[in-house]
Amino acid sequence: MAIKATIFKANLQIADMDRHVYRDHAVTLARHPSETDERMMVRLVVLALNLPADAEAGTLEIAKGMWDPDEPELWHRDLTGRILHWIEVGQPDERRLLKASGRADRVSVYSYSASPQLWWDPIAGRVARARNVEVWHIDPAASSALAALAERSMQLQVNIEGGSAWVTSADRTVEVSPRRLESR
């Protein structure tokens, strides 16, 4: 018998001073059996960092990236179903990124490994030709600290300023400052 996903619920209070997005956002996350708390929490922070400023333009949704190879981790689609923003977490292969760049207006990748250059350098030149792909790296110490905040029911405050996010749960705060990886 297959192991089922574990359900987590998070209430996010988001204050994004960079884009003037201030809202509460309730999220239900299905953590795949092979997914770690660290990866799940990175997905949650990435959602907060990329939540559309215009609520009428739709919202960023958690997709079935772990279950379905044709979907990302997160995506923002307009009312017609066109994919405005495709977001991957981890280190997807070149083929997946190039396919995503053809399907979406914008593609973002958030890596959180200890050595992202080992993954990125060999594919950067080929992926950079797509022109709508941007790759970000989250420090492994920050992603590891995020994992410690994971609970089945979470109340998180996310304050974003200057491209950094401060994620607070009760008396613990984790700073997440993604930095852009450039092709060499």
The pLDDT tens digits of the residues spanning 76-86 come to 998 888 999 99
Beta-carbon contacts of 173 under 8 Å, excluding residues fewer than 6 positions away, are 166, 167
pLDDT 10s digits, 29-68: 988 888 899 999 999 999 999 988 876 567 788 877 666 7
Domains of the chain: 6-181 (3.10.640.10)
Strand pairing of 164-169 and 83-89? unpaired
pLDDT at 1 over 80: no
pLDDT (0 to 100) of residue 184: 57
For the whole model, what pTM was predicted?
0.92
